[in-house]
Structure 1
């Protein structure tokens, strides 16, 4: 799989999640709604573009996975199935990756700097511990 496809799928994830949350299983057929935020509308455009490129069987597979993802929003396995459906469409036509990338908003240049003892620098942090004798409890 090309690095371009991997990068697109990573960047598109939040948009796809937002689209499924806002539009549900109808995301493939609904028109853009002004009441829905821009993030969800980008995800909707991506999913509809993929749907339009698929043959009848591919559309049915995508519709099925979108329905499951809408019903199970936190299920990573279902979301992985959705990413796989998109990946299949992108592999079939190399220029399609560039077309879908154009739908994503430009990411600002981010500069992250950490200075000083025990400083942390990252664009995303899930857990960070910088102290001595720290205890983590998972509930």
Structure 2
């Protein structure tokens, strides 16, 4: 575990199963039993159809970069010690788009539609974050 100075997510009744799954390094998202769509961020109803009948479902762990930004400077904010930071929007194979960080990539690997895989950053005993790394073949 590492010392993180940036803000961490709050664990609530609606998202505690998600954060438990990340601590187990087996990320799950809610999948609607009515329309079969996955959604992110966790909540009490399906983001697609509004149904309240869903199942926590294991993710495949793969996705593609939808968008990205590299933060080179962060003077005077919680991310100052972490720069440069690569922030990515990843469209998971299951459909939802997730924002996180990309680590361990070579300059040519950072591109729209590049394949990535889920990894985990153990922050403390309660929070493990989903992060991404290139899906090298």
Greater helix share, structure number: 1
TM-score between the two structures when normalised by the length of structure 1: 0.25
TM-score between the two structures when normalised by the length of structure 2: 0.25
Greater strand share, structure number: 2
